[in-house]
């Protein structure tokens, strides 16, 4: 048996706009998906998911995931979860030149499904790494990131970006703009996450932004403005030694990053991807004294990320109607971990 884990993520800036070639900055967090893989003697794949914020399921199939588990959650989330596992299997088979390889796969995750914390990317990254190693064909981290992106792009019908999968594979804070992906230095960010217990439909939300962008010029301008926020934020995350941000101490830099997160949330709200519960959590964090707060991920429900080194935001979120869970999220310095 081979075991790998990969982290989830929060976006400081740039979700949705990154789909159109604008830059984005996600940060890996220490909430992980763990995938255990054992090779079989036939070409079947048996998947057990013990915790994907579902009731848990087991399904065995050959060739494709046409058989869906019977669980009491939206069908789109179950289909997406199975689709990512299926795509990871196909990438592993291709990498190892083993088209008929079969696997027993167990998925455990600390990352809520569809909540904007990168659960699909983490499962895909960990799955590709574990399956290729189980076949005796370990591949470099950069190839894992690339193959995970291709898997996500296939499931999302070409609407994925490299941001989530690259961040999950390499860890830390990363900058992604089109095919240009790299790690960046960042201060020790005091990230607090609020979760409303729900999930957005990524495909539907991305399609909605695309429709706005095609219909209204100012929506297209909004996408570009989000890109400008990312470029400004980079100056405070990883300042040029000769630039003005280099004169600020770490606390002042984090304060500026928070202000830019506030701007970013407002623009995402204008694109129709926020929700009442997300906005309530954002305002609760701001009123508690957070440096900034915004939704993270596709939106429509799920999670917000705030910056606050004090306990005030965490406490406020736990008493905010509609917030089911709040926790502090440490930056994950490493991405995929090879456990066995």
- Counting residues of the chain whose pLDDT is more than 90, the rounded percentage is 73
| CA geometry: angle 113, 118, 119, nearest 5 deg | 40
Give the residue range(s) of CATH 3.30.230.10 domains in the chain: 2-185
Residue 50 is predicted with a pLDDT of 67
The CATH architecture annotation of domain 191-329 reads 2-Layer Sandwich (3.30)
Residue 203 is predicted with a pLDDT of 81
The domain defined by 2-185 carries CATH number 2.60.40.10? no
Residue 157 is predicted with a pLDDT of 75
Chain position carrying tokens 């904007």: 116
- Under 8 Å between Cβ of 102 and 45: yes
Tokens of 15: 């979700």
Residue 55 is predicted with a pLDDT of 46
pLDDT tens across 233-263, in order? Answer: 999 998 888 787 888 999 999 999 999 999 9
Residue 221 is predicted with a pLDDT of 96
Residues of the chain with pLDDT under 70: 50-81
Residue 128 is predicted with a pLDDT of 97
Residue 240 is predicted with a pLDDT of 84
Residue 58 is predicted with a pLDDT of 52
% helix, strand, coil for the chain, step of 5: 40, 25, 35
Residue 48 is predicted with a pLDDT of 84
Q: Is 164 a residue of the active site?
A: yes
| pTM assigned to the model | 0.88
From 129, 146, 164, 308, the catalytic residue? 164
| CA geometry: angle 167, 171, 177, nearest 5 deg | 30
Cα-flanking dihedrals φ and ψ of residue 44, to 5°?
-80, 160
Residue 56 is predicted with a pLDDT of 46
Residue 305 is predicted with a pLDDT of 98
Give the residue range(s) of CATH 3.30.70.890 domains in the chain: 191-329
Residue 200 is predicted with a pLDDT of 82
Residue 236 is predicted with a pLDDT of 94
Residue 57 is predicted with a pLDDT of 46
pLDDT tens across 161-181, in order? Answer: 899 999 999 999 999 999 999
Over the Cα atoms of the chain, what is R_g?
A: 19
């Amino acid at each position: 048996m081979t075991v790998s884990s990969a982290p989830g993520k929060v976006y400081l800036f740039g979700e949705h706009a990154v789909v159109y070639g604008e830059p984005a900055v996600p940060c890996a967090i220490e909430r992980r998906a763990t995938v255990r893989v054992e090779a079989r003697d036939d070409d079947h794949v048996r998947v057990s998911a013990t915790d994907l914020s579902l009731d848990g399921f087991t399904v065995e199939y050959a060739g494709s995931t046409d058989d869906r588990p019977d669980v009491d959650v939206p069908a789109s989330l179950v289909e997406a979860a199975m689709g990512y596992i299926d795509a990871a299997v196909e990438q592993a088979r291709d990498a190892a030149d083993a088209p008929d390889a079969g696997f027993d796969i167990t998925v455990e995750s600390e990352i809520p499904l569809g909540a904007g914390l990168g659960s699909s990317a983490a499962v895909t990254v960990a799955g590709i790494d574990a399956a290729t190693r189980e076949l005796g064909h370990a591949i470099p981290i950069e190839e894992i990131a690339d193959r995970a992106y291709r898997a996500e792009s296939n499931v999302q019908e070409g609407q994925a970006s490299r941001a989530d999968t690259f961040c999950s594979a390499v860890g830390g804070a990363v900058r992604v703009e089109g095919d240009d992906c790299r790690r960046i230095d960042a201060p020790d960010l005091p990230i607090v996450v609020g979760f409303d217990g729900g999930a957005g439909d990524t495909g539907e939300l991305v399609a909605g932004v695309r429709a706005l962008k095609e219909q209204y010029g100012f929506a297209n301008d909004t996408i570009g403005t989000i890109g400008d926020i990312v470029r400004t934020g980079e100056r405070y995350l990883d300042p040029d030694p000769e630039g003005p941000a280099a004169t600020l101490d770490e606390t002042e830099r984090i304060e500026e990053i928070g202000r830019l997160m506030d701007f970013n949330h407002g623009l995402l709200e204008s694109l129709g991807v926020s929700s009442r519960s997300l906005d309530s959590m954002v305002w609760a964090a701001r009123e508690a004294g957070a440096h900034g707060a915004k939704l993270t991920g596709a939106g429509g429900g799920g999670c917000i990320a705030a910056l606050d080194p004090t306990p005030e935001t965490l406490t406020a979120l736990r008493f905010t109607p509609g917030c089911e869970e709040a926790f502090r999220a440490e930056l994950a310095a490493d991405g995929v971990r090879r456990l066995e």
